[in-house]
């Protein structure tokens, strides 16, 4: 675990912008210490025994939900899963009343994914337990950005001075928003590449380079992160068709010929092979996709440890 024994200063994790660089370093240092646990024959320690975490996922998730579940269990916390379809939300109960009901069961943290931007903040302002944002609408996905930056830091030692291209559906991506904030503050140059219809309003004020040509966007890039087309969030007319998008904006081996040597390829998942990324790249030696999954467990173990033990550390 991290050598820093000072109390963790945050009750909730809503987005990366509330974390100082010192906070990020502490999360990464703690995650490194937990990586060793994930390599043991018996992958479990009693660190969070007696703590409870509710995984409240009102949107579908495989990687994030399973990663938090595994992270909690490996630290001996009790984890309880709740989906929108299996809760009273499906019967018309408000998010607030559902959350207050859950708080009455005295969890130490609620990990929330919800389709509405700001939902995590809404709960955090009303609940005594920690709220960890696992994705809220288009707004933020802080744990994904942390694991992405951790993956690249493990690969390079630091992201400072590196060029990272984020390619795809930027407009609807909470992953892109959180990554832009975190990677730029860590010293990386971030490039965004997308059709004009898939860039968000106000993007010209972001601290990024903006491209509409993949070949130019990845020139000398050290890493390329592909994003899924979020068709479920799109209005009609934003794309001509998937075949045209794949031909123009899908990442292929020919694009990486102009990237930096040993360029790394990332994807937060789920992947649409043949649409946003060529299958050969997803499985290539350049790919860090599975490293991201492994990093996700270690980073989320670190977050659960820091947020669930903050009160004890303060005493």
Binding site for carbamoyl phosphate, residues?
A: 63-64, 113, 141, 144, 269-270
Q: Find all residues with CB under 8 Å of 243, minimum gap 6, and list them.
A: none
For the structural domain made of 16-140+295-314, what CATH number should be given? 3.40.50.1370
Q: Find all residues with CB under 8 Å of 48, minimum gap 6, and list them.
A: 72, 75, 76, 77, 304, 305, 308, 309
Binding site for L-aspartate, residues?
A: 91, 174, 228
pLDDT digits (tens, 9 = 90+) for 271-303: 889 889 999 999 999 999 999 999 999 999 999
pLDDT digits (tens, 9 = 90+) for 157-202: 999 999 999 999 999 999 999 999 999 999 999 999 999 989 999 9
For the structural domain made of 142-293, what CATH number should be given? 3.40.50.1370
Binding site, residues?
A: 63-64, 91, 113, 141, 144, 174, 228, 269-270
pLDDT digits (tens, 9 = 90+) for 48-91: 999 999 999 988 888 999 999 999 999 999 999 987 555 556 56
Return the structure tokens found at 22: 């010192």
**Quick one: CA torsion of 268, 273, 275, 277, rounded to 10 degrees?**
60
- Domain edges within the chain: 16-140+295-314, 142-293
Return the structure tokens found at 117: 């931007």
Domains 16-140+295-314 and 142-293 share a fold: yes
């Amino acid at each position: 675990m991290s050598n820093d024994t000072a109390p963790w200063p945050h009750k909730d994790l809503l987005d990366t912008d509330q974390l100082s660089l010192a906070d990020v370093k502490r999360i990464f240092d703690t995650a490194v210490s937990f990586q060793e646990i994930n390599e043991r024959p018996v992958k479990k320690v009693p660190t969070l025994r007696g703590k409870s975490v509710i995984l409240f996922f009102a949107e579908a998730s495989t990687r994030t939900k399973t990663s938090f579940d595994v992270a909690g269990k490996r630290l001996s916390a009790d984890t309880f899963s709740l989906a929108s379809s299996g809760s009273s939300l499906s019967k018309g109960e408000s998010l607030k009343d559902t959350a207050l009901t859950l708080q009455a069961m005295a969890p130490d943290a609620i990990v929330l994914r919800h389709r509405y931007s700001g939902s995590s903040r809404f709960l955090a302002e009303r609940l005594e337990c920690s709220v960890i944002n696992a994705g809220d609408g288009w707004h933020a996905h802080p744990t994904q950005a942390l694991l992405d930056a951790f993956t690249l830091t493990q690969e390079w030692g630091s992201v400072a001075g590196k060029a990272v291209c984020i390619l795809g559906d930027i407009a609807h991506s909470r992953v892109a928003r959180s990554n832009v904030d975190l990677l730029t503050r860590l010293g990386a140059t971030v490039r965004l590449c997308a059709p004009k219809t898939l860039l968000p309003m106000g993007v010209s004020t972001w601290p990024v380079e903006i491209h509409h040509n993949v070949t130019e966007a990845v020139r000398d890039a050290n890493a390329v992160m592909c994003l899924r087309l979020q068709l479920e969030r799109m209005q009609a007319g934003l794309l001509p068709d998937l075949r045209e998008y794949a031909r123009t904006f899908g990442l292929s081996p020919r694009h990486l010929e102009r990237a930096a040597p040993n360029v790394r390829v990332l994807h937060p998942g789920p992947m649409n092979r043949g649409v946003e990324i060529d299958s050969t790249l997803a499985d290539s030696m350049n790919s860090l996709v599975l490293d991201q999954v492994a990093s996700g467990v270690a980073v989320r173990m670190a977050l659960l440890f820091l947020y669930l033990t903050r009160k004890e550390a303060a005493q």
